[in-house]
């Protein structure tokens, strides 16, 4: 039985840090284990310009614990007013590593997002020219499409036509949740990749709805049927190069999660690495954990591997995770996997 595993220090290719007091409270949870993270731009107001991204990066760096070497990788929020030249300049400077497509109304703080892809064609063409990836929140927002079908419909009606019309554009399907997403990413070629979250490897829709509504398991894209969870586990643990970790760790204070119209998001920054070791061991693929967490993402984003290493150790006694992270904005509930976890990150 494997009792420890040493990995190249991992990266998180989809992370929400928020801002202000929340940023200060949750940032140490990621910086403890991760070398880098791709920071989502859906603040209020959103991170739209290179100047916005530079200012947000500086706020993140000021909020880091003393001595931390964590590096935030910045993104821009794509709007119908985005300037292609500003995007190109931000990329050329090394500041921005991706641009994020939010279909308007798809998720938290997405109302400034894109309603018509034709209106951002010039930006997408410039991104294809310079090799800057587009990260997609892959759901349609049409009211008549069932929430459990919105990812599959997005692939058929938005993503596939976009890729056929602009095959040079490098795209990341973020937080895929379905068999269709797994299959499409696998067959998409070198310009297509997909991130998979920690929580979608662990929960299905029963965890949210069976026996009463569980607000801390509610996320967008929403967890799907068990067959989709199993497809995600097979993809994540496969070692294939197009799949890598993007936690989509999304902090909300409990007061906003536990109400009649609760916010979407699972906060997994604290315990992701231990949970992933548990999942990969269950699948008999612990040897592929480093590939998923530390190798495939940098390869797609054309960045060097981290030089630092981390070690995970399996203990006889299960680990106890904090129930909540206390921030000055309010308490944030840590994702509870619902089973004992014996893996620990050895600090």
Distance CA 295, CA 292 (A): 6
Coil/strand/helix, residue 99: strand
Report the DSSP pairing between strands 243-245 and 192-196.
Answer: parallel
Residue 216 neighbours by CB under 8 Å, 6+ apart: 257, 266, 333, 335, 336
Distance CA 279, CA 232 (A): 11
Instruction: Give how far Cα 49 sits from Cα of 43, 57, 74, 192, Å.
Output: 13, 12, 11, 25
Distance of CA 219 to the CA centre of its chain: 12
Active site residue 146: no
Cis status of the peptide bond prior to 343, with omega within 30 of 0: no
Residue 20 neighbours by CB under 8 Å, 6+ apart: 329
Distance CA 11, CA 14 (A): 9
Distance CA 117, CA 53 (A): 23
Sheet holding 71-77, edge to edge: 11-15, 36-39, 71-77, 96-101, 134-137, 171-174, 192-196, 243-245
Place of tokens 């419909």: 153
Contact 198, 265 (CB under 8 A): no
Q: At what angle do helices 84-92 and 50-63 cross, to 10 degrees?
A: 40
- Count other C-beta atoms under 10 Å from residue 4's C-beta: 13
Catalytic residue among 58, 86, 248, 254: 248
Distance CA 163, CA 278 (A): 36
Task: Tell me the catalytic residues.
Answer: 248
């Amino acid at each position: 039985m494997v009792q420890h595993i040493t990995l190249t220090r991992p990266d998180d290719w989809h992370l929400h840090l928020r801002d202000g007091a929340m940023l200060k409270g949750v940032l140490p949870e990621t910086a403890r284990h991760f070398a880098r993270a791709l920071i989502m731009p859906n603040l209020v107001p959103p991170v739209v310009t290179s100047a916005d991204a530079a200012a947000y990066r500086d706020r993140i760096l000021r909020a880091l614990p003393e001595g931390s070497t964590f590096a935030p990788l910045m993104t821009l929020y794509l709007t119908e007013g985005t300037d292609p030249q500003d995007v190109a300049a931000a990329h050329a400077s090394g500041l921005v590593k991706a641009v994020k497509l939010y279909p308007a109304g798809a998720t938290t703080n997405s109302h400034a997002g894109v309603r018509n892809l034709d209106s951002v064609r010039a930006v997408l063409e410039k991104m294809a020219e310079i090799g800057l990836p587009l990260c997609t929140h892959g759901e349609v927002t049409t009211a008549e499409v069932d929430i459990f079908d919105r990812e599959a419909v997005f692939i058929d009606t938005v993503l596939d036509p976009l890729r056929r019309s602009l095959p040079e554009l490098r795209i990341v399907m973020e937080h895929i949740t379905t068999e269709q997403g797994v299959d499409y990413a696998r067959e998409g070629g070198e310009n297509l990749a997909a991130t998979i979250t920690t929580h979608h490897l662990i929960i299905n829709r029963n965890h949210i709805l069976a026996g009463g509504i569980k607000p801390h398991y509610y996320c967008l894209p929403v967890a799907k049927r068990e067959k989709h969870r199993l497809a995600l586990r097979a993809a994540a643990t496969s070692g294939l190069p197009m799949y890598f970790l993007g936690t989509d760790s999304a902090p909300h204070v409990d007061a906003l999660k536990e109400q009649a119209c609760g916010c979407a998001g699972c906060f997994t920054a604290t315990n992701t690495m231990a949970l992933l070791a548990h999942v990969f061991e269950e699948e008999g693929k612990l040897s592929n954990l480093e590939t998923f967490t530390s190798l495939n993402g940098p390869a797609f984003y054309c960045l060097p591997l981290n030089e630092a290493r981390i070690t995970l150790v399996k203990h006889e006694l299960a680990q106890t995770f904090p129930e909540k992270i206390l921030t000055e904005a309010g308490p944030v509930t840590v994702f509870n996997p619902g089973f004992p976890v014996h893996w620990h990150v050895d600090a």
